[in-house]
Amino acid sequence: MPTDQLHIIWYPDPVLRRKARPVVAIDARVRAVAKAMLELMHEAGGVGLAAPQVGLSWRLFVANPTGDPQDDRVFINPVLSDPSKEAVEHEEGCLSIPEVRANILRPKAITVTATDLDGKSFSLTSDDLAARVWQHEYDHLDGVLILDRMQRIDRLASRQMLKELEDSYEATK
């Protein structure tokens, strides 16, 4: 699919549930997809976007928790490590599950190690919004959605919207 045709995939598309494969080479296509993903993320008002959310089963996500274009980052084949013992609950949404929000419990701090578009490895540690964004986007690479981390009460509250998304998906098949 040409990068100008990339769009955000909505639940319950099966690609969102697949474990993504590692990116084996950082070539012009990967760079173009990463650029298009950053643009889609900004257009949608998001702070992160994973390749499965645009229909690609790649271990790649983009993130920018500040909104400042200088803070755009690409994470290729990321690995999370050193989660803090302290966990915090915070409201999260997902560009692939519009209008659904829930309080999700995650480690407060985490380290991410990944490769950038120049093929250089880097590591970042955060105990702020960035840590939450990295964990959320990393979940997408393993086929995990916020639906899987929601408390029962949030799942019940979202039942109608999820049904509408499921019905809409079925209608387009």
Any idea which residues carry the catalytic annotation?
A: 137
**90: which DSSP letter?**
E
Burial of 167 (0-12, 13-18, 19+ CB in 10 A): exposed
Please count the other Cβ atoms lying within 10 Å of the Cβ belonging to residue 80. 17
Q: Is-contact 130 124, C-beta < 8 A? A: yes
Q: Quote the CA–CA distance of 148 and 155 in Å, as a whole number.
A: 9
